Amino acid sequence: MFRLFASSSKGALRTAAKNQQVRNLSIHEYMSANLLSEAGIKVPKGHVASTPEEAFQAAKDLGASDLVIKAQVLAGGRGKGHFDSGLKGGVKVIYSPEEARDLASKMLNHKLFTKQTGVHGKECNKVFIVERKYVRREYYFAILMDRATQGPVLVASAQGGVDIETVAAEDPEAIIKLPVDINKGLSLESALQLASQLGFVGNAREEAADTFLKLYKLFLAKDATQIEINPLVETSDQQVMCMDAKFGFDDNASFRQKGVFSLRDPTQEDPREVQAEKWDLNYIGLDGRIGCLVNGAGLAMSTMDIIKLHGGEPANFLDVGGSATAKQICEAFKIISSDSGVSAALVNIFGGIMRCDVVAQGIIDAVKELDLKIPLVVRLQGTNVNEGKKLINESGISIFPCDDLDKAAELVVKLSDITSLAQKVGVHAKLSLA
């Protein structure tokens, strides 16, 4: 997606983390098509299926000889992806119900790998079968929240149906940006002008402008952070239709968008992030080998930075917040240790509202319950720090205490390297202070 904004420190971190999803709610294509249709926006007719037989019936019910079957996976690049079944491509043209059934059997309950899924891929649980439309022209259209203008911005291009980021890099002049004053909204005049800039003429120009207005209204009504239509097309009979749609919604609006958030598919999300949400923890999985448990987003980011400064790579962003309980600390360790790539962990707590003795008890419970094998470096400062250190000293658990953050980061990187080397040769190394 063409990005103009970062909604939070999480969003900025997510952009930097390779092959990771945006935390804002995303929904499947068939769900997006339903939202568009309910808003009076034209989309191809289609049915969703979760079994090969349902796919057969869906194709039959559509009654067309030219159809498209699309794997419903929350990742871009589906058309160029591949399944673990051996099937190449997650978007296929089909000509019969029998073909729909055959391809569905190779997509459903199989993992699809694309440039956005990473090496683990994503399982396809549903397929979307739609009528195939013959188009005259393809366009790109999106509505995003823009930090620079502090409001919505329309992003459009006459070069649709392709990777818009590539278009932006190779031909910036092809990208049209139209900021919208959220207090005034998108006017018909502005919508018509944008349609003309894109090259719509005649009745198609009026219909394109009407589509832009309806999309903007939907964007506001659903507390969306993005609506991306790629491609937006003009058909041979001059209809303007949304052929593919991606929605993103503001997590902070979940209390008033219960219908939208009921569409969430946790099977498409990192299970560690789903588990963290249950315990009110802020977690984002990364690609490194050093687990981090910190209180406060700013301190968490600084901790990750100093680990990288010493040559290490953080395995996660994990902020336990300012009022975590010992049980939440224990659950946080369960999430960190569930990552087989983690070879050491750093706890960095600056106690204010968060008491160091509560964190210490959580660490003790986690080490005993999980029988942690990885070296653990702990830095505690602030409220009840002496009580916290006393609990750890009297617990008998093996940790590496360190009051200086710079030294703690340097130590955890070295311990991670030692543990990683031992793991590579099949040796279990239990490290302790001399």
Catalytic residues: 140, 228
Asked if 345 contacts 376 with a C-beta cutoff of 8 angstroms, the reply is yes
Q: Which amino acid is at 298?
A: G
Token digits for 118?
Answer: 């990473």
C-alpha closest to that of 44 among 241, 245, 247, 212: 241
Taking Cα atoms as reference points, which of 291, 339, 337 lies closest to residue 315? Answer: 291
Gap between the Cα atoms of 106 and 398, Å rounded: 49
- Please say whether the dihedral angle defined by the alpha carbons of residues 97, 101, 107 and 109, taken in this order, is positive or negative: positive
Helix-helix angle 356-370:385-395, to 10 degrees = 20
Closest C-alpha among 108, 23, 24 to residue 73:
108
46 CB burial (10 A radius; 0-12, 13-18, 19+) = buried
Is there a contact between 325 and 362 (Cβ–Cβ < 8 Å)?
A: yes
How far apart are the C-alpha atoms of 400 and 403, rounded to whole Å?
Answer: 10
C-alpha–C-alpha distance, residues 322 and 336, integer Å: 19
Which residues on adjacent β-strands are paired with residue 26?
248
Report DSSP letters for 405-429, one per residue. Answer: HHHHHHHHHHHHHHHHHHHHTT---
Task: List the strands of the sheet with 127-131, edge to edge.
Answer: 46-49, 127-131, 67-71, 91-94
The three-state secondary structure class of 71 is strand
List Cβ neighbours of 207 (8 Å cut-off, separation of 6 or more).
Answer: 200, 238, 239, 240
Please, are residues 418 and 431 in contact by the beta-carbon 8 Å criterion? Answer: yes
State which amino acid sits at residue 295: N
Neighbours of 235 (CB within 10 A): 17
Please state, in angstroms and rounded to a whole number, the distance separating the CA atoms of residues 189 and 66: 37
- Contact between 279 and 321 under an 8 Å Cβ cutoff? The reply is no
Among 226, 246, 242, residue whose Cα is nearest residue 234:
242
